[in-house]
Amino acid sequence: MLTFAIPKGSLLKDSIVLLQAIGLDFSAFLDESNRLLQITEPQGIAKAMLVRAQDVSVYVEYGEAHLGIVGEDVLREKMPRVARLLDLRFGACRMSIAVPQDSPHRSALSLLPHSRIASKSVRITQDYFASLDLPVEIIPLYGSVELAPITGMADAIVDLVSTGRTLRDNGLIEIEVLFHSTARLIAHPLSYRLDREQLSYYVDRVRDVLPQ
């Protein structure tokens, strides 16, 4: 049976809608009273597991799911061994550097060497500043990253930005966009090679329903 890994959080609703468009109904995950983490859709054709967004690629990489939906930002951070199949064109956001509004810095290159940068995305942050040949101290945080510059613990943050409202509400401004991110369809590489006919059928159906 085909298994999907579906992310909790901001990509969940659009993921469910997309799969409904190709005939797979996992809308039970949208029911707030539902406590099941794995369900089989009504036709018995496929099942889905509901996991943290950061764990989708792990379940796919280790073969527990044939296909998964995950943000490009997660793929860049975790660098999993998965087949990257389609840009699903929802969940648009950007990975940005932000500083307090009263900061003198207005670009990444204006930051001083050994500035403190708070981020959930440690690999992305390391790689970006290494590409600038700018040494920085990275502070890994997994909660409200915006608090770090407010308290003075960090000079800047690297974080995902959607509307920018959270930054504005906390007195922060974007000074650099590292890349733009959308949801992606990924597959377990071996499964995709061995069961190509079955997986390609669903991948093609997804491709057909994506906006042109």
pLDDT in the model for residue 198: 78
Nearest Cα neighbor of 60 from 208, 199, 206, 212 is 199
How many other β-carbons are positioned within 10 Å of the β-carbon of residue 195? 15
Domain 2-91+182-209 has CATH 3.40.190.10: yes
pLDDT in the model for residue 200: 87
**Would 2-91+182-209 and 93-179 be classified into the same CATH topology?**
yes
114 touches 136 (CB < 8 A): yes
Output b/e per residue, 17-34; b: 16+ Cβ within 10 A. Answer: ebbeebebebbbbeeeee
User: What residue segments make up the domains of the chain, in order of their start?
Assistant: 2-91+182-209, 93-179
pLDDT in the model for residue 189: 86
CB neighbours of 170 closer than 8 A, spacing ≥ 6? 146, 147, 150
Q: Determine whether 7 is exposed, middle or buried from the number of CB atoms within 10 Å of its CB (0-12, 13-18, 19+).
A: buried
pLDDT in the model for residue 211: 83
Q: How far, in Å, CA of 185 to CA of 170, rounded?
A: 33
Q: Mean pLDDT, consecutive 10-residue segments, the chain of 212 residues? A: 95 97 96 93 95 96 95 97 96 98 96 98 98 98 95 97 96 98 94 75 94 79
pLDDT in the model for residue 191: 77
The CATH superfamily of 93-179 is: Periplasmic binding protein-like II (3.40.190.10)
